[in-house]
């Protein structure tokens, strides 16, 4: 019988990532969550559960480690990182409702995932201008993405495909 040695989760993550990488990834995502919390004025209605977030971060890093190993790559691009982050935040739900918050906050984790994806797409930040004739189309697209996050399959691959599609769509728009 073969003598198989199994690595602990910490050993596995430390063999793939430096402590600095783990810390920086966690801080980046946590800062995005804090910004979202402040921008959406969630104080008193929703709280961010750091324990759940830690599990999200572990899941994200384990998936990224698998990707790096499978594809034999050193770094994973930002789009992949955000797709995995959004997917795990949708599964783990680090934003939790405060009792009596009301139905307006039921999809707070989906809104957070939407904000991550829109930031990752690079086309939806506060500094981007939109032609007035396109504003309704853009708003409709954002509504469709939000609908997908609430009711459809939100694995990292579909979210990555969404981001790649937005990126390629911007190129097509520049051509016309």
In a structure prediction context, what are the per-residue pLDDT tens digits for the chain, which is 176 residues long? 455 556 677 777 888 888 898 999 999 999 999 999 999 999 999 999 999 999 999 999 999 998 888 888 888 888 999 999 999 999 999 999 999 888 999 999 999 999 999 998 876 555 566 778 877 888 898 899 999 999 998 999 999 999 988 887 766 666 55
Tell me how far CA of residue 35 lies from CA of 31, 39, 174, in angstroms: 6, 6, 31
Report d(CA 98, CA 48) in Å as an integer: 10
Report d(CA 143, CA 145) in Å as an integer: 5
**pTM for the predicted model, two decimal places:** 0.86
DSSP state of 157: H
Domains of the chain: which residue ranges? 9-175
| H helical segments located in the chain | 9-16, 19-39, 50-71, 78-92, 108-121, 135-151, 156-175
pLDDT of residue 12: 76
Q: Give the CA angle between residues 62, 75, 124 to the nearest 5°.
A: 90
Provide the Cα torsion 14, 18, 21, 25; round to 10°. 10
């Amino acid at each position: 019988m073969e003598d198989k040695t199994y690595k602990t989760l910490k050993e596995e993550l430390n063999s793939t990532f430096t402590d600095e990488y783990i810390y920086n990834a966690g801080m980046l995502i946590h800062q995005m969550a804090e910004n979202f919390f402040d921008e959406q004025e969630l104080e008193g209605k929703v709280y961010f559960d750091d324990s759940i977030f830690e599990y999200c971060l572990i899941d994200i890093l384990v998936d990224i480690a698998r990707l790096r190993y499978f594809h034999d790559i050193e770094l994973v691009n930002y789009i992949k990182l955000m797709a995995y982050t959004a997917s795990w935040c949708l599964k783990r739900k680090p934003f939790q409702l405060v009792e009596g918050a009301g139905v307006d906050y039921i999809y707070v984790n989906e809104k957070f995932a939407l904000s991550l994806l829109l930031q990752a797409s690079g086309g939806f930040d506060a500094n981007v201008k939109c032609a007035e004739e396109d504003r309704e189309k853009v708003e409709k697209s954002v509504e469709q993405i939000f609908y997908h996050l609430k009711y459809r399959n939100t694995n990292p691959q579909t979210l990555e495909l969404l981001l790649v599609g937005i990126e390629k769509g911007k190129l097509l728009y520049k051509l016309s």
